[in-house]
A and B are shown apart, each in its own frame.
Chain A
Amino acid sequence: AQSVTQLGSHVSVSEGALVLLRCNYSSSVPPYLFWYVQYPNQGLQLLLKYTSAATLVKGINGFEAEFKKSETSFHLTKPSAHMSDAAEYFCAVSDRGGSQGNLIFGKGTKLSVKP
């Protein structure tokens, strides 16, 4: 069975500092992995996805994530935080439309950015 663990339900950084949001996954087959962002009272917006091409994936708004199979991780980073990055971030895994083709979500990490 697939699962996702996001370490840290809340992360706080200063404006201009590095953002690192952690995601570890469990999957019995090569996974698809996703990061979504949610602003208050809005739907989820796709930030980036890994679908077995390059292991370093670049997304929107300057975010990127690296797929590390040996560590079963897909951490999200951004070199310099901006106030507008304050939101909740969700990591998700799927088995590419197999028997469990639905997305399994982590519980989310709320990012705060201090001026």
Chain B
Amino acid sequence: DGGITQSPKYLFRKEGQNVTLSCEQNLNHDAMYWYRQDPGQGLRLIYYSQIVNDFQKGDIAEGYSVSREKKESFPLTVTSAQKNPTAFYLCASSSVYGETQYFGPGTRLLVL
């Protein structure tokens, strides 16, 4: 079955801690994206990658970092610099940049 997986489903972060959210796709897509979702605000783009070994900042990149060392993987690290990390995080991919995006099931990040 082709698709996008995100893990874990729930993640708890302590003060001052960095945490990493996993996103894997087996769709052979070139482009991958990370979004943050807060109630009533829609989805906001954090980072995107058009191709392996390349990524660009989105609208709200501060306090986040990513890597794209493999085509199928695009992990997101929420650093201690992100002061309000509580949100639902969604990963997406598309065959090429700008084409239809398909989404994973999401990770909910909570602060202890």
Interface residues of A (CB under 8 A from B): 9, 32, 34, 36, 41-46, 49, 90, 94-98, 101-103, 105-108
A43 to B37, alpha carbons, bound, how many Å? 10
A36 to B102, alpha carbons, bound, how many Å? 10
Q: Which of B82-107 contact A (CB under 8 A)?
A: 88, 90, 92, 96-106
Q: Which residues of B contact A43 (CB under 8 A)?
A: 4, 6, 90, 103-106
B60 interface residue, CB < 8 Å from A?
Answer: no
Given contacts A9-B40, A43-B90, contact A97 B106 (CB under 8 A): no
**Which 4 A-B pairs have CB atoms at the shortest separation, nearest pair first?**
A97-B98, A101-B98, A43-B103, A107-B42
A34 to B94, alpha carbons, bound, how many Å? 14
Q: Which of A43, A95, A98, A105 has the most CB of B within 10 A?
A: A43
17 residue pairs bridging A and B, Cβ less than 8 Å apart: A41-B88, A41-B108, A42-B105, A43-B4, A43-B90, A43-B104, A44-B43, A44-B90, A90-B42, A90-B43, A97-B97, A102-B45, A102-B58, A103-B45, A106-B42, A107-B40, A108-B42
Q: Which residues of A contact B97 (CB under 8 A)?
A: 97, 101
Interface string of B38-53 (1 = CB under 8 A from A): 0011111100100000
Q: Which residues of A contact B99 (CB under 8 A)?
A: 97
Interface string of B16-45 (1 = CB under 8 A from A): 000000000000000001000000111111
